[in-house]
Structure 1
């Protein structure tokens, strides 16, 4: 079975056929339980949600009746269980369109995040700019020319270009 909350509240078989559910109270009860699937929802909270904050004095009795009717319509991997202080809708959260939609959003967000690139290991050759040989004097030896000594000029003999006005 599938529970549809995005749009009109509906209960459908896995083949897509609608399952008749009661009026507005029963639909509100189904929605409240489906949003909290696999968690016990206390009777007081259900009453507040079903009656939009102003439950009647007989709300617990009415909820028990509505829950019994709703439970008889469920199947296909969904089960409504009475607990000491409330009700539990048990089943795969993916059977509720809101939870399925949230899972798809979470998957899309994970796919949109760039994966960090691994740091290249020193000497691995993965970044040729980092694997240059050490800089130093050229090797000297048989078959290689002797290095030419470098002379540093301390400013003597250097001429500077002059600026002339035209």
Structure 2
């Protein structure tokens, strides 16, 4: 069960899921340690947790998505344009449906999400973990990020977001 465009990046931890949390790309999850942790919020974030590899991903899925977006163009919209110089090359894991962006470490102190009208995956790191000097793979549990927003450089978190 591999992405149709070849070798999956990031150890193949990606898999598409619909709003109900069911797989739409293949019958088995790529995530070895845990299943997707999906819940409804304004931005409909999806958490993918692979503790063994220390990879944490969130999907920003837009409510006004009228159809399958084109990849990787969906991840280069106006909302992400200012971050392009700070990001690694955008990879298409599922052609015409899913895009992947890996943020560089200098952005890892901030939660970032975009609303481009398509589904894109982003690697994010909590600022508290980054400042602590711990490796993200050392964290045994990772709490929900529900409605975090970046407003003028100020991060807002839920009270139960403890790292």
- Could you say which TM-score interval applies, normalised by the shorter chain? under 0.3
The TM-score with structure 1 as length reference comes to: 0.22
Which of structures 1 and 2 has the bigger CA Rg?
1
Looking at secondary structure, tell me which structure has more helix per residue. Answer: 1
